[in-house]
Amino acid sequence: MIGFLKARYCKRWLRGYGIKLVSGPFALGKGATLIMEEGVSISIAKMEFRLLMVGAMTYMRSSVELLNVGKIGRFCSIGNGVVIGQDKAAHPLGWVSSHPFQHDAPQLVYEGQLSAVEIGHDVWIGRDSMIMEGVTIGIGAVIASRALVTRDVPAYAIVAGVPARIIRYRHSSEIIADLLASEWWEGSVEDLLRRPLNKPEAFIQQCRGEPVTKVAYRRVSVSRSGWSELAAEHLRSPAKQ
C-alpha cells in the first residue's frame, strides 16, 4: 500500500512538469536513475538501464523496452514494442557452449563488452523495431517499423529492413547541414510553433535572421528511492553526423 501511494504521489508530482511516467518509479531497477526534461511521456515500459536521460517532448508508446540505453534526445517519437539496447554480446560464441550454465563454474568468467545506445533529437522509431546495444542514432533519423538496427545511423537518414539499411535521406545534404546548424531543438515549443515548420527552406531562412532562442528545460531525476528537480541545462545530442 505504501509503495502504491508513493508511486501515485510521484506521478502527480511529475505532472507538474508535464511529464507522464505510466509505469511509475518502482518499475526502475534498483540503483537505476531516469532523468527527464519537461513534456516527456513514457507509457508502460520495461526499464533495465542504469542511467537514462530523456529530452523534452519525447514520447514513447506502450511495451517499449529500455535496456542498455543512455541518452534519448528531444522531440523523439517512439512507437509501440520498440526495443532499445538489445544485448549482442550476452553469450560467449567462442566457448564450447553459448548457454549460461557454464557461468556456474568458478574458473569461468564471461563479461561481454557492452555500450549504451545514444539517440539524437527528433528521431522517429517505428513500431516493433529493435536497436542493438552500442548504436548511435543521428539527429532527425527515421527507423522503419520492425527494422533491426545493428550499426550507427547518420543524421536525417531513413533506414529499414533486417538488418536495417539506408533507404534515403529526409532532406538534401544542404538542408540537413542547415537544420543541424540551427539547433532548433534547443528552442522552446512556443518559439518553434510560430515558425514555418512545414517549409524547411523558409524555416532555415528565418532562423538565419532570427535564430532560435535557446531555453533550458526543467529536468527531474527519478529513482526507486525518490525524485527531485535538477538544475536545468541543455541536453546535448550524440554526434550530428
Rounded distance between C-alpha atoms, residue 158 and residue 167, angstroms: 6
The active-site residue out of 91, 103, 121, 171 is: 91
**Sheet hosting strand 64-66, strand order edge to edge:** 45-47, 64-66, 83-86, 130-132, 148-149
91 is a catalytic site residue: yes
Which residues touch 83 (CB under 8 Å, ≥6 apart)? 64, 65, 67, 129, 130, 131
Which residues touch 175 (CB under 8 Å, ≥6 apart)? 200, 201, 204
- DSSP strand pairing (157-160 vs 51-54): unpaired
Question: Which of the residues are catalytic?
Answer: 91
